Structure 1
Amino acid sequence: MPHEHAPGLVIQGFTPPLPLAGFKLIAFDMDSTLINIECVDEIADAAGRKAEVAAITEAAMRGEIADYKESLRQRVTLLKGVPVSALQVVFDRRLRLNPGAETLVHAAQAAGLKTLLVSGGFTFFTDRIRDRLGIDFTRSNVLGTENGLLTGSMVDQPWGDICDGEEKKRMLLATCAQLQIDPRHAIAIGDGANDLPMMGVAGLSVAYHAKPKVREQAMVAINAGGLDRLLEVVQPG
């Protein structure tokens, strides 16, 4: 049964504390987990379509849309004609790391963990977050551009067309294989239904200010405070 370890921190399936150094990899979702926004919604604001896109995003994150890939294609189609320069504006003016993000990432790195950023969002943002935090591995989607404008589609990648929940899981497992570690030595953190597949194969699953379906299934649910609250449960040193 879930129990509240401390106000706003719910735990089920194990007894804390766990040693952080007992894990070898920590995987983060990006939008609304490592950062404070849903990037696709903010890009849509430049096209005057934020409310329309945000409604699809919310339904997808709650697990109310079964086909995540199709939901993302719908949203990206609505971005057609937005200047590529709008992405930089979103990054500069609206995107912030969530509270405790840097603290948690740096604590994990100090304890010897590799870091993975897996996102249904876009490389424009994941590349910049990777560089800022020194993250080891990333997987996300590439927006199509032409003549300085978004085309309303995404660019196919060698591993597939869209990073959805199954691709997040595949990337986590592939990274574990590359590092020659058991997935039970991985931590996976997310907030939406498309994070559940990777959370399901990790040794420790963490929901951060997440949708109800995700909170119910996670081993740790951080419902108040920052990402660094995980360090109350999985302790350095």
Structure 2
Amino acid sequence: MSATVGRPEVFIATLVAKDRLDAGDISAACDAVRGTAGAVVDGVACDVRFLCSGEGRSPDDATDVHGSKAPASAGARAALEAALPHLDIIIQREPDRHRKLLIADMDSTMITVECIDELADYVGLKAQVSDVTERAMRGELDFAEALGSRVALLAGLSEATVAECLRERVKLMGGAVDLITAFKAAGGRAVLVSGGFTHFTDSVAQQIGFDRAIANHLVVQDGKLTGEVEFPIVDAQTKRETLLAEATALGIPINATLAIGDGANDIPMIEAAGLGIAYHAKPKTEAAADASVRFGDLNVVRYALGLD
């Protein structure tokens, strides 16, 4: 069976398995696309196309399922996730697939840790700070107040220790380099916007290949942190405004943009983007996003964008 590829009404559901897809997964996806098995997706045709690029990949761990009618995003997502709860699924209109701007969070998105929690470990306060971080990322605390209270606990920490933390604790998220490298090779612009700190974002952005990095500046005096952050801080509104400003500067429509994050302070940019993706995210963030990556790494996003 085939879909009418290239027309605005065509949609793509990219399915990604942590290990591999099987025949049952494909059958269930096609049933959902056709609107059978209780699914609510308004699709008429189902065209399965395996994605085979990427070093070390199985040729059958990801696939595109094309439908001949574009369903409501929420309905399509609900139907396919209900049918295939063990897969990562990203749905989008085919004409929008090749995005031109990517805005990403850093902590727990492009890297595997929360930097402020790791810094707190050096002063014996990781458990206390991690609890505040978790609550802030769930949207239970005011971000600015939570940031200020946590940074205050780091007063007296040396910049040498911050550098040690970067060197020893900060690890890139799986697929981060592959995603950004492929995105830029396809002509896209990638911007890292973090509520964290420039002591980390400058290095992480360079390692991964971002075009620009924006983050908070820790105040340093005599080689030690004062426990303060320079104002204005990078918060949820900053992230949203950066996405909109970058899109305007590039002269692209909002549907050509993509935002990725995990915390409540990422919600405004995720909601504003053409495609908002929650990455191993908090419940509020996942609810606000167009799609969620729950099982795989950032290569899931690369596959969804059709990048080699």
Aligned counterpart, 2:30: none
- 1:25 aligned to 93, 97, 101, which one? 101
Q: Which amino acid aligns with 1:215?
A: E
Give the deviation of 1:236 after TM superposition. Answer: 2.3
Number of residue pairs aligned between Structure 1 and Structure 2: 229
Secondary structure (helix, strand or coil) at the match of 2:172 reads coil
Aligned counterpart, 1:91: 166
Aligned counterpart, 2:180: 105
Aligned counterpart, 1:236: 307
Q: Which amino acid aligns with 1:209?
A: H
Question: Is 1:198–2:269 an aligned residue pair?
Answer: yes
Distance 2:188 2:103 in 1: 10
Distance 2:223 2:254 in 1: 41
Question: Is 1:130–2:229 an aligned residue pair?
Answer: no
The answer to whether the 8 Å contact 2:177/2:209 transfers is no
The answer to whether the 8 Å contact 1:18/1:233 transfers is no
Aligned counterpart, 1:174: 245
Distance 2:259 2:215 in 1: 16
Give the deviation of 1:164 after TM superposition. Answer: 0.7
The answer to whether the 8 Å contact 1:19/1:236 transfers is no
Q: Which amino acid aligns with 2:128?
A: E
Instruction: Mark the runs of 5 or more structure 1 residues left unpaired by the alignment.
Output: none
Q: Which amino acid aligns with 2:234?
A: C
- 1:163 aligned to 234, 256, 267, which one? 234
In structure 2, relative to structure 1, the CA distance for the partners of 1:60 and 1:205 (3 Å cut) is same
Aligned counterpart, 1:46: 122
Secondary structure (helix, strand or coil) at the match of 2:135 reads helix
Give the deviation of 1:132 after TM superposition. Answer: 1.4
Identity %: 41
Question: Is 1:9–2:71 an aligned residue pair?
Answer: no
Secondary structure (helix, strand or coil) at the match of 1:235 reads coil
Distance 1:228 1:18 in 2: 21
Spell out the pairing of 1:36-75 with structure 2 (5 A cutoff).
36-65=112-141, 67-75=142-150
CA RMSD of aligned residues (A): 1.7
Give the deviation of 1:88 after TM superposition. Answer: 1.1
In structure 2, relative to structure 1, the CA distance for the partners of 1:49 and 1:163 (3 Å cut) is same
Secondary structure (helix, strand or coil) at the match of 1:117 reads strand
Aligned counterpart, 2:26: none
Larger radius of gyration: 2
The answer to whether the 8 Å contact 2:176/2:208 transfers is no
Distance 2:280 2:135 in 1: 16
Secondary structure (helix, strand or coil) at the match of 1:181 reads coil
Give the deviation of 1:78 after TM superposition. Answer: 0.8
TM-score calculated relative to the size of structure 2: 0.71
In structure 2, relative to structure 1, the CA distance for the partners of 1:182 and 1:17 (3 Å cut) is closer
Q: Which amino acid aligns with 2:296?
A: G
Q: Which amino acid aligns with 1:148?
A: G
- 2:222 aligned to 142, 147, 152, which one? 147
Greater displacement, 41-50 / 31-40: 41-50
Secondary structure (helix, strand or coil) at the match of 1:119 reads strand
Distance 1:6 1:56 in 2: 30
Instruction: Mark the runs of 5 or more structure 2 residues left unpaired by the alignment.
Output: 1-74
